[in-house]
Structure formats: C-alpha cells, structure tokens
Amino acid sequence: MKRTFLPPSYFNTSVILMVALHLIFPLKSIIISPYNYFGLLLLLLGFLMNIWASEYFKKVQTAIKPFQKSSYLVTEGLFKYSRHPMYLGMVIALLGLFFLLGSITPLIIMPMFIYVIKKKFIQVEEKALEEKFGEQYLAYKKKVRCWI
C-alpha cells in the first residue's frame, strides 16, 4: 500500500517553513504589536474548526482520513458554509501564524499549502463523494462553496 502524507503533515510542515522564513528572511514587518496578537484568535478559530469537524465525523461514524470511504455525507454545522471546514481551519490557523509573526515572507507558504491541499486531497475527496453520494453530493456542491 502506497503511503501518503496526510493534511496535518502538510500543515505542520507549513508552520515550520513559515517560522523558518520569518527567522531567516524577515523581509519586512507589516503587522506590528499589538495588532499581531489578532493572530492568536485566528489560530484558536482554526483549531476549534478542526476539533469540531473531527468530533462530528466521529459522532456520525464516518471516515475522517482522506482516501477512506465515507459512510455519511456531512452537511450540518460548519459544513453548511464550507465543504472543507477542516482545510479551511488549517488555512485560518496559518493566517493566524502569519499575523503573529508579522513579517511578509511567511505569507508565501499559504498559497502553496492551499494548492497542495486542493490538488492532493480536495479533488480526490470530491470525486469520491460524487461517486458515493451522486445527486445528493452534487446538490450540496451547488449550494455550498469549497472554502467559504
């Protein structure tokens, strides 16, 4: 079986790269204290989104890991507003880290993270959900945006 890195690995790598870029190449500080502390709220929001979605997946007993078969199409809670609130939560947490760090160089990691998540996970997951849930998923997809 081919092993692949899961989204938290890409998130953790992005965090490390953002901090490293800030420490090594802090080109320009664009968010200064005390405004950078807004990043703490964004970090908290991102983590809470992931915790809620994870717990909800457990509650309805459906697969949480990418590439596993889903048994239930989650459209409640945060999923009314985003088809991928866990990935959105990761992006919000990365945005929070950017605010906390305050320099512009860490910002270049976020588009790369989004691109990788979209290509490696979202596209595959959405195809699997279309195959599994058919018209039900297509109707949901028309109603709810991918991110927000």
On whether residue 3 sits in a domain, the answer given is no
- Residue 18 exposure: Cα atoms within 13 Å on the Cβ side: 27
The pLDDT of residue 80 is: 96
Q: Give the number of domains in the chain.
A: 1
**Residue 39 in domain:** yes
Q: In this structure, what token pair is assigned to residue 74?
A: 């989650």
**Prior bond of 34 cis (ω within 30°):** yes
Determine, yes or no, domain membership for 14. no
User: Does 27 map to a domain?
Assistant: no
Structural domain range at position 116: 32-143
Please spell the DSSP secondary structure of 28-74, one letter per residue. Answer: -B-S-TTGGGHHHHHHHHHHHHHHHHHHHHHHTT---STTSPPSS--
Q: pTM score, two decimals? A: 0.94
Give the phi and the psi of residue 33 in degrees, each rounded to 5.
Answer: -70, 140
CB of 84 closer than 8 Å to CB of 120:
no
Task: Single out the residue of 108, 133, 124, 93 nearest to residue 12, CA to CA.
Answer: 93
Please provide residue 16's backbone torsions phi and psi, each rounded to the nearest 5 degrees: -60, -45
In a domain, residue 104? The reply is yes
For residue 70, the 8-state DSSP code is: P
Q: Is residue 5 a part of any domain in this protein?
A: no
Cβ(147)–Cβ(89) below 8 Å: no
Per-residue pLDDT of the chain (148 residues; tens, 9 = 90+): 466 799 999 999 999 999 999 999 988 899 999 999 999 999 999 999 999 999 999 999 999 998 899 999 999 999 999 999 999 999 999 999 999 999 999 999 999 999 999 999 999 999 999 999 999 999 999 999 999 8
